[in-house]
Amino acid sequence: MTRSNDPDRLGIGYFFPAGKTNFVYSDEAARRVPEMRRGPLLELARTAEEVGFDSLFIADNWSGHQRVAEQFGHQSPAFHAPLLAMALLTATERIRVISTFHTTHHKPAHVARMGATLDAFSEGRWGWNIVTGFSADEAALFGEEFVDHDKRYEMASEFVDIVKRLWSEAEPIDVEGQYYRVKGRIKVPRPVQKPHPRLVSAGASEAGMAFAARHCDELVTLASSVEGLDKVGAKLSTLTQNNGRRVGLCPFSLTIIRDEDGRAQEEFDGLLKSLNVEATREIAADVLGSIESARSMFDKMGADEAAIAFGGGGSVLKLLGTPRQVAEQLIELKANASMSSILINFPLWSPQELRTFTKVLPYLREAGIWKHPSECDAA
Ligand SMILES: Cc1cc2nc3c(=O)[nH]c(=O)nc-3n(C[C@H](O)[C@H](O)[C@H](O)COP(=O)(O)O)c2cc1C
Q: How many A from CA of 203 to the centre of ligand 1?
A: 6
**CB of residue 202 inside a 6 A radius of ligand 1:** yes
**CB of residue 251 inside a 6 A radius of ligand 1:** no
Q: How many A from CA of 324 to the centre of ligand 1?
A: 31
**CB of residue 97 inside a 6 A radius of ligand 1:** no
* The domain over range 11-378 is classified in CATH as 3.40.50.460: no
Question: C-alpha dihedral over 116, 120, 121, 123, to 10 degrees?
Answer: 140
Q: How many A from CA of 220 to the centre of ligand 1?
A: 9
Residue 3 has pLDDT above 70, yes or no: no
Which residues are CB-contacts of 147 (< 8 A; sequence separation ≥ 6)? Answer: 104, 139, 155
* DSSP conformation letters of 336-373: HS--SEEEEE-TT-SHHHHHGGGGTHHHHHHTTS---H
Which residues are CB-contacts of 144 (< 8 A; sequence separation ≥ 6)? Answer: 104, 105
User: How far from 102 is each of 46, 61, 155, 187, 347, CA to CA, in Å?
Assistant: 27, 8, 11, 22, 25
The whole-number pLDDT of residue 293 equals 45
**CB of residue 130 inside a 6 A radius of ligand 1:** no
Do 99 and 85 contact (CB within 8 A), yes or no?
yes
Q: How many A from CA of 310 to the centre of ligand 1?
A: 14
Q: What angle do CA 227, 229, 232 make, to 5 degrees?
A: 110
- 100-142 pLDDT, tens digit per residue, is 999 999 999 999 999 999 999 999 999 999 999 999 999 999 9
Atom of ligand 1 nearest to the CA of 201: 17
- 247-293 pLDDT, tens digit per residue, is 999 999 999 999 999 999 999 999 999 999 899 988 888 876 655 54
**CB of residue 75 inside a 6 A radius of ligand 1:** no
Which residues are CB-contacts of 275 (< 8 A; sequence separation ≥ 6)? Answer: 24, 25, 26, 27, 307, 308, 311, 312
pTM of the model: 0.96
- 354-363 pLDDT, tens digit per residue, is 999 999 999 9
The whole-number pLDDT of residue 304 equals 65
**CB of residue 283 inside a 6 A radius of ligand 1:** no
Q: How many A from CA of 259 to the centre of ligand 1?
A: 33
**CB of residue 19 inside a 6 A radius of ligand 1:** no
Residue bearing the CA closest to ligand 1, atom 9: 60
Do 218 and 1 contact (CB within 8 A), yes or no?
yes
User: How far from 182 is each of 65, 175, 199, CA to CA, in Å?
Assistant: 33, 5, 21
Residue bearing the CA closest to ligand 1, atom 20: 203
